[in-house]
Structure 1
Amino acid sequence: METKKLALEAAKNHLQLRGYNGFSFQDIADELGIRKASLHYYFASKEDLGLALIEDYSQAFQDWLKKYEDHHALERIKKFIDMYYSFSQDGLKVCPGGVLCIDFNTLPPKLKKAVVEFQSGQQEWLTEQFKTGCKQGSLKKDIKPKETALLLMSTCQGALQIARMQNNPKIMKAACTSLLQYLEK
């Protein structure tokens, strides 16, 4: 099982730095010092590896949610921004959902479906945070929660890419924090 875990970690790194189409089984095998055929024991195809990555990212997001379930909505939204910011601080990576959206038209069908579900889950959670923040009085009452969730996610993902291009992780945090200031009461 250690090889499978190491392969997933290597694939995460490659995905967030190079995109789904920017790495191969051979890249992972070379990094781990194993034969490419050995990876097929754990993942029948690259699509299966991609699905395992989405499952791993989804579980990590669920675990992350539990850490902040007792916080107020505005604080959870700020922590969400911090989560995205952590990607830029880790070698100027981009978020897994964002990078898979870039490669979306070339993804296999099952992986496309998993990406849509992953992104939709995050957007739904964020929508609920904006609804709750309005009710708690920490956010402006006239915002549209669903559209605002989409706006924040888009800002996070786009700002990660600009931060990478400009080699400046702070750009990401500044863009998202500025947006949130317009929404706070």
Structure 2
Amino acid sequence: MPAAAPTGKAMDILESARTLMMDRGFNGFSFRDVAANVGIKSASIHYHYATKADLAEATAHAYRCAFSDMTAQINTSSAAEKLRAYGALFVKTLREQGQVCLGGMLATEVASLPDQVRSEVSQFFAEQNDWVQNVVCDGQASGQFRADLDAAMFAKMFVSSLEGAMMISRGLERPQDLEDTLEMLVQLVQA
């Protein structure tokens, strides 16, 4: 039986952890940081999440599910517009929040992540690659995208290019670079 969705303080704790991890990564936040953001004592976090690894796993899981829900809502007739809408999720995160994708941030720390968090990161990227691959296959079937591309390889390149461009664009404080990368990637796949 799946765990109930967090509510109240547990949700506030997850939201604070997500924000902190998107800014600083797993190794850059503590229960004390989360508690200060939420306005509770750090010991109170243990009531909801026994360890930092448990909190990070729950946060990564919630992020993965939310991101998958957003991609499921992308509904355009053009495969190219689907890829643009997908990339717009990254652009919005960078432009509006000044943050990078939680999956990408955690992937940079994979060597030091607890196993359960590493598993969430792996699942996040598998789901994203699968979604993009399905869009590319649909685009190829409808003649919108180049038939000579390996859809699985393009999906991996597309997702990893957006993740990398997002981090570099953040570091250089040039979000437009991420938008330019997205547009170039979409042009590469078009027939």
Matches within 5 A, 1:154-165: 154-165=160-171
Question: What is aligned with 1:44?
Answer: 50
Task: Compare 62-71 and 85-94 and name the one that shifted more.
Answer: 62-71
Structure 1 unaligned segments of length 5 or more: list them: none
User: Using the alignment, how far apart are the partners of 2:42 and 2:95 within structure 1?
Assistant: 31
Question: What is aligned with 1:7?
Answer: 13
Task: Compare 68-77 and 1-10 and name the one that shifted more.
Answer: 68-77
Task: Compare 113-122 and 54-63 and name the one that shifted more.
Answer: 54-63
User: Which residue of 172, 180, 183 maps to 1:177?
Assistant: 183
Question: What is aligned with 1:32?
Answer: 38
TM-score (norm 2): 0.91
User: Using the alignment, how far apart are the partners of 2:91 and 2:188 within structure 1?
Assistant: 19
Question: What is aligned with 2:110?
Answer: 104
Matches within 5 A, 1:83-122: 83-122=89-128
Shift of 1:79: 0.9
Matches within 5 A, 1:131-170: 131-170=137-176
Number of equivalenced pairs: 185
Deviations 1:137-159 (A, max 9, x none): 11111111111011111110111
Contact 1:130 1:145 in 2 (8 A): yes
Aligned Cα root-mean-square deviation (Å): 1.4
Shift of 1:70: 5.6
Large movers: runs of 4+ above 3 Å:
69-72
Structure 2 unaligned segments of length 5 or more: list them: 1-6
Contact 1:68 1:76 in 2 (8 A): yes
TM-score (norm 1): 0.94
Percent identity reads: 28
Q: In structure 2, what residue type is equivalent to 1:147? A: M
- Specify whether residues 165 and 129 from structure 1 end up closer, same or farther in structure 2 by C-alpha distance, changes over 3 A only: same
User: Using the alignment, how far apart are the partners of 1:75 and 1:179 within structure 2?
Assistant: 12
Deviations 1:59-116 (A, max 9, x none): 2123213322464432221111101111111332111110110010000111111211
